[in-house]
Amino acid sequence: VSLIEDIVERLKRGDPVALGRLLKELENETMAGYVALKAFEAARPKGLAHVVGITGPPGAGKSTLVGILCKTWAEQGRTLGIICVDPTSPFTGGAILGDRIRMQELAKQPNVFIKSLATRGTLGGIASSTADIVRAFDSFGVDIVVIETVGVGQVEFDILDTADTVVLVNVPGLGDKLQTFKAGIMEIADLYVINQADRPGADESVKDLQQMIHDMETKLWSPPVLKTIATEKKGIKELAEQIERHKQAMQQSDVWGEKRKIRNHKRLRQRIMSLFAAEVDGLIKLDAGVAELVDKVKAGDHDPFTAADRIMEAVRRQMLQRQG
């Protein structure tokens, strides 16, 4: 039995150590990881897990909220896979002590699996790993996959568009900042949370958000605005209920299936692009002429556009030779 076959067998038996190993391989984008996931996912039901993305600016108490919400789900007997794409997350060691302790407790539960992506890679790499890790959790049989990101810009769309339900967490006193959300992340949220709702201005923020949602086009689902005080565990049960309600709304329409199609398609495209990148890297290593051309572009002695055309031509020749 090969090492990969052994891991796949252990995954099928629900071995959390084998899961940890698989996730690590997927994070590192290794061939072993792909081979193992391919064998594992082929044998499992697919697309059953509810993927919930939770995002919001730093300082909104998002990590505390995610911790309490996940604890609530875990106590209800749900199996959870948690993915953190956030350097400020307690999972990656960088947050306030209370969150860190809560997360350590959470990680000890037999039905909670945590994977933090704290690599300093490119977004492309992180987004690619995230899609595969979602599928690995799904195959492992978790009920809910939680993706925690810091979503202040538009740059995390790539990650959040793999989620079924996107929760945007904020704090009271948005005021002028509401404007800023219009430009981006606002439209993709399915639920809005005003956390630290005991602070002044909470009701105004809720009203502002509701007005904004009213102005937006909504078909399937009109996003609710919820108030929470994560530190006092207030509003968490309602939040979990609304997330569940959104799942049911999606399942009663095409959206649930559509989201899964988008996620699968994305994994395919990412895999193709990464195979091609390997092809180009191989070419540069083997072909002295191409290596020289790349050096010229680096030095600014050749434009990148013509060079790219010539390298594509060389890739074609390389493929041809292999064919012949």
- In the window 92-121, what residues touch a copy of itself (CB under 8 A)? 92-97, 118-121
The answer to whether residue 156 forms part of the interface with a copy of itself (CB under 8 A) is yes
Of 37 and 106, the one with the shorter C-beta distance to a copy of itself is: 37
Q: Where are the beta strands (DSSP E) in 86-218?
A: 112-116, 144-150, 165-170, 191-194
Contact segment (CB under 8 A) with a copy of itself among 19-27, 103-111, 207-215, 296-304 equals 296-304
Alpha-carbon span 5 to 150, nearest angstrom:
36
Q: Which residue shows structure tokens 């010539």? A: 310
One residue of 273, 282, 291, 292 binding a copy of itself per CB under 8 A = 273
- In the window 193-232, what residues touch a copy of itself (CB under 8 A)? none
Say which DSSP state 109 is in.
Answer: S
One residue of 14, 20, 282, 304 binding a copy of itself per CB under 8 A = 304
- In the window 54-73, what residues touch a copy of itself (CB under 8 A)? 57-59
The answer to whether residue 41 forms part of the interface with a copy of itself (CB under 8 A) is yes
Least distance to a copy of itself from the beta carbon of 294, Å? 7
- In the window 244-263, what residues touch a copy of itself (CB under 8 A)? 260-262
The answer to whether residue 182 forms part of the interface with a copy of itself (CB under 8 A) is yes
* Strand-pair partners of 22: none
* # residues near a copy of itself by CB under 8 A: 82
Alpha-carbon span 30 to 55, nearest angstrom:
28
The answer to whether residue 123 forms part of the interface with a copy of itself (CB under 8 A) is yes
* Strand-pair partners of 84: 116, 148
User: Minimal CA–CA distance to 57: which of 175, 177, 159, 202?
Assistant: 177
The strand pair at 50-56 and 165-170 is best described as parallel
The answer to whether residue 24 forms part of the interface with a copy of itself (CB under 8 A) is no
Alpha-carbon span 88 to 171, nearest angstrom:
17
